[in-house]
Amino acid sequence: MLQRGMARLRWAALLGVGGHCACFGLPPPAWPARRLPAWVRGLSPLQRLSQMLPEPQGPCSPLQSAPRTRHEVPEASGPAEELAVSSSTPPPRDVPFQVGDLILLSSHGRHRTFRKIMKLKDTGQLSSNWGAIRHQDVLGKLPGQVFSSSTGYHFMFRRPALEDYVLLMKRGPNISYPKDVNMMVMMMDVHQGDAVLEVGSGSGGMSLFLSKAVGSQGRVMSFEIRKDHHEIAKKNYKNWCNAWKISHSEEWPENVDFIHKDIATAAQDLKSKTFDAVALDMLNPQIALPIVYQSLKQGGVCTIYLASITQIIELLNGISSCRLALYCEKITEVTLRDWLVCPAKKKDGTFVQRVQPTTNLDSELHTHEDDEGEEGEEEQVQAEDNGETLSDSPYGAVPYIARPLHWQCGHTAFLIKLRKFKPAHTLSTSDDSN
Ligand SMILES: C[S@@+](CC[C@H](N)C(=O)[O-])C[C@H]1O[C@@H](n2cnc3c(N)ncnc32)[C@H](O)[C@@H]1O
């Protein structure tokens, strides 16, 4: 029972009950600050979590430094303080924010979420309609730091992951969504060292994921018919590489050749090349297929990103009228469903209280005298569980909301997987020869 209680306490801490935003560990702006003692408010989410865990028996765990009294916990944490929490020698990736860093600011209000990527400078401030934060205050801090803006919103500051960057970078045409590109990479079975052909550089979103998938030993060739899109794709790619350099010892591989050309006129450029895989994100991909087909290795996969089923029918018609040996292995769609999991709150920002059932156990057991056995036992266990939740756990009185979000990502694209094959030889049989 005690173990179960402890496990619940840990889950409560991880989910952020008792002062953190459930999904991200951020105190939501509407949270009345006076509810928590000052020394707790000064802690980072990681520090709060470590306070809730039992003391380790052996040497200090990575989450906890040597035991300290609560008065020793600093109010704000700079890089030196953060390092004291993790370990004395920082791993090489613990690089504090520097000028030129791309920073993702995120904040989660009751009904709105703020997410924006900004570049860190040595002067001025990062401003938005959720308030401002001075660049100087951010420089030197480690990613994961929470800042309070001039208007009182709390922001988590960290370096964007590739997915964040692609979703939030400046766009020309619409991007291929990361969820879809990852599926395409899987469908093409792209590995480090592979050569991949992309048609429709667009904003450079897919190019970045392909670049990551093939690594420093691989190569991506990306064609784009429009000059403005070609420039945007190159710029987005360059910005990502530059920001990457700041926080990593190894540079991002510059392995994408962006080519400004209509794929329909690129037969000569591709003549001597063989690709492990091909990815098309363009209108009328059936126009490109006869060209790219020649350079796709036998058994290799061409994936296509198309918004509507009628376009897929056009595509399949194109393949059969051009008599291309491409077998359609799969037509699929990637659907995601996001959930809301957080403590239930009233409109005034205070927590909803769990209503304890008032079942009279004695009379219940009495009524079910005739059905003695397993069912009766089950009911008793349930009653003990309730007792423990409400009395032993400090969070037991707060019920949770746990349901799919009302707003979900809608349809983005269908993904088509075509495999290049060699048609079978017609074998002559003894019957045929007669
Ligand atoms: C939807 S965008 C691609 C977006 C890209 N996948 C990304 O993630 O940023 C389609 C692009 O295909 C390009 N395109 C269309 N026809 C083309 C062709 N024949 N040759 C090369 N590019 C073409 C368009 O100009 C457009 O930029």
pLDDT at 135: 95
Phi, psi torsion values for 209, nearest 5 degrees: -65, -40
Claim to verify: residue 306 and residue 228 sit in the same structural domain: yes
218 vs 368, which has greater pLDDT?
218
The model's pLDDT over 388-425, given as tens digits with 9 standing for 90+, comes to 333 444 456 788 889 999 989 899 999 999 999 999 97
Claim to verify: residue 169 and residue 318 sit in the same structural domain: yes
139 part of a folded domain:
yes
Q: What is the DSSP string of 14-63?
A: HHTTTTS-TTT-PPPTTS-GGGS-HHHHTS-HHHHHHHHSPPPSSSPPTT
Claim to verify: residue 208 and residue 254 sit in the same structural domain: yes
pLDDT at 427: 61
144 part of a folded domain:
yes
153 part of a folded domain:
yes
Compute the CA torsion angle 225, 227, 230, 231 (nearest 10 deg).
Answer: 180
CA neighbor of 398 nearest in space, from 350, 357, 359, 358: 350
Distance between Cα 230 and ligand 1 center (Å): 9
Claim to verify: residue 171 and residue 312 sit in the same structural domain: yes
In sign, the C-alpha dihedral spanning 210, 214, 217, 222 is negative
Two tokens, residue 164: 């964040």
Distance between Cα 286 and ligand 1 center (Å): 14
Instruction: Write the residue with the smallest CA distance to atom 12 of ligand 1.
Output: 200
In order of 52, 159, 172, 315, the CA distances from 307 in angstroms are: 48, 31, 17, 12
- 282 Cβ closer than 6 Å to some ligand 1 atom: yes
Number of domain units in the chain:
2
Distance between Cα 223 and ligand 1 center (Å): 8
Q: Which residue has the tokens 């008032």?
A: 358
Claim to verify: residue 108 and residue 194 sit in the same structural domain: no
Claim to verify: residue 153 and residue 276 sit in the same structural domain: no
Distance between Cα 254 and ligand 1 center (Å): 21
Range with the poorest average pLDDT among 13-17, 282-286, 290-294, 365-369: 13-17
Claim to verify: residue 234 and residue 128 sit in the same structural domain: no
From 128, 160, 192, give the residue that closes a domain.
160
From 123, 145, 160, give the residue that closes a domain.
160
| Residue-range definition of the domain harbouring residue 121 | 101-160
Claim to verify: residue 178 and residue 322 sit in the same structural domain: yes
Claim to verify: residue 178 and residue 113 sit in the same structural domain: no
CA neighbor of 309 nearest in space, from 179, 413, 193, 219: 413
The arithmetic mean of pLDDT across residues 293-303, rounded, is 98
Distance between Cα 113 and ligand 1 center (Å): 30
How far apart CA 364 and CA 374 sit, in angstroms, is 15
Q: How confident is the model at residue 111 (pLDDT cuts 50, 70, 90)?
A: confident
- 283 Cβ closer than 6 Å to some ligand 1 atom: yes
Q: CA 337, 167, 284 angle in degrees (round to 5)?
A: 90
94 vs 317, which has greater pLDDT?
317
How far apart CA 165 and CA 216 sit, in angstroms, is 20
Instruction: Write the residue with the smallest CA distance to atom 24 of ligand 1.
Output: 200
Determine the length of the chain: 434
- 204 Cβ closer than 6 Å to some ligand 1 atom: yes
The enclosing domain of 150 has a CATH number of 3.10.330.20
- 173 Cβ closer than 6 Å to some ligand 1 atom: yes
352 vs 161, which has greater pLDDT?
161
224 part of a folded domain:
yes
pTM: 0.73
5 part of a folded domain:
no
59 part of a folded domain:
no
Instruction: Write the residue with the smallest CA distance to atom 4 of ligand 1.
Output: 202
The enclosing domain of 220 has a CATH number of 3.40.50.150
How far apart CA 233 and CA 258 sit, in angstroms, is 8
From 303, 318, 333, give the residue that closes a domain.
333
Beta bridge partners of 402: 341
Claim to verify: residue 184 and residue 116 sit in the same structural domain: no
Range with the poorest average pLDDT among 30-34, 258-262, 350-354: 30-34
295 part of a folded domain:
yes
Phi, psi torsion values for 158, nearest 5 degrees: -155, 170
- 131 Cβ closer than 6 Å to some ligand 1 atom: no
Claim to verify: residue 211 and residue 269 sit in the same structural domain: yes
The model's pLDDT over 54-67, given as tens digits with 9 standing for 90+, comes to 333 322 232 233 33
Cα-only R_g, the chain? 29
CA neighbor of 221 nearest in space, from 254, 257, 253: 257
198 part of a folded domain:
yes
Claim to verify: residue 113 and residue 229 sit in the same structural domain: no
- 175 Cβ closer than 6 Å to some ligand 1 atom: yes
